[in-house]
Structure 1
Amino acid sequence: MPEAAEPIVWSCGDILAPFRWTRGAVVQVAPDLFEPEVRGKFRDEVFAIMALCPELHFELRTAHPHTYQEFVRLIAEDRTEYLAWRVSAATILRKLDRDHEATGPGPEWPLENVVLVGEGSADA
């Protein structure tokens, strides 16, 4: 059996980097996307990238698992929140000159290629 490749650590600085990575790669998202200082638009863009790269496997770590769970629940259950997230996905597609892909039903939530690992401490 071939040895698994080392995970890619993604700091999200180059927001479009995942589009250049090999199918099946494991990506560890470096910033804690659920820290109180992280703004919603940035978080939405990162999740848009993850949704648009279903062939990659993203691992999230957070000290705020309840915030993560609430974020996913809101997008899955609240049509307004889902549509706001879709705006971020459309923005990413525009940056890639793939505007024509911004139609259709979009992905199911939670995203199948995103997992929360090593949850850390609970929210205060």
Structure 2
Amino acid sequence: MAQNWQTAVWSGKDLLEPFTWPHATVVQVVRDLFEPELRGAFRDEVFATMALCRHHRFQLRTAYPEQYRRYVNDIAGDRNEYLAWRVTAAMTLRKLGRQDEATGDGPRWPLDNVELLD
């Protein structure tokens, strides 16, 4: 069954904004999440939002694709990194008043609704 996808541009500044979009949306993330000046906490928060908004597709661009791959591989392959990221996802759910959903195994990495574009 085909979906009618909406499109949006998102900087990640308002971390909860994608939760307000009622339709499945292809989201162009306009900030380079892997630029060296960007700290890991913000990156984790953006990825938490993307993981929790499974009905959207997020498209990323970066001048640092190796940094992206390292980040994804660290969370996918290191249980401690994954658990640290899960804390960030739980805090996002708390901001939404949905802390009771912060149970279970969580999403598999890499996230299937996040795509790195060339």
- TM-score, scaled relative to structure 1: 0.89
1:31 aligns with 2:25: no
Q: Which residue is equivalent to 1:85?
A: 85
SS of the aligned residue for 2:106 comes to: coil
Which protein has the larger Cα radius of gyration, Structure 1 or Structure 2? 1
Change (3 A) 1:86 1:36: same
The corresponding residue for 1:75 is 75
- Structure 1 distance, partners of 2:5, 2:54, is 19
CA RMSD of aligned residues (A): 1.7
Q: Look up the equivalent residue of 1:12 and give its one-letter code.
A: G
TM superposition shift of 1:58: 0.1
- In structure 1, how many angstroms separate the alpha carbons of the residues matched to 2:64 and 2:50? 19
Query: Which residue number corresponds to residue 41 of structure 2?
Result: 41
Give the superposition deviation at 1:24.
2.1
- Secondary structure of the residue aligned to 2:59 is strand
Q: CA deviation at 1:3?
A: 8.0
Contact 2:4 2:24 in 1 (8 A): no
- Counterpart residue type for residue 89 of structure 1: A
Q: Say which SS state the counterpart of residue 13 (structure 1) adopts.
A: coil
CA distance in 1, matches of 2:5, 2:97: 33
- 1:73-96 CA distances to partner (integer Å, 9 max, x unpaired)? 000000010011001101100000
In the alignment, the residues of structure 1 paired with residue 22 and residue 97 of structure 2 have an alpha-carbon distance, to the nearest angstrom, of 20
Give the % identical residues: 59
TM-score after normalising by structure 2: 0.94
Segments ≥4 residues shifted beyond 6 Å: none
Q: CA deviation at 1:4?
A: 5.8
**Does 1:110 find its partner at 2:110?**
yes
Q: Secondary structure at the match of 1:97?
A: coil
Whole-Å Cα distance in 2 between the matches of residues 106 and 35 of structure 1?
A: 27
In structure 2, the residue corresponding to 1:59 is in which secondary structure? strand
* Letter aligned with residue 105 of structure 1: D
Pairwise CA distance, 1:102 = 0.5
Counterpart of 1:110 in 2: which secondary structure? coil
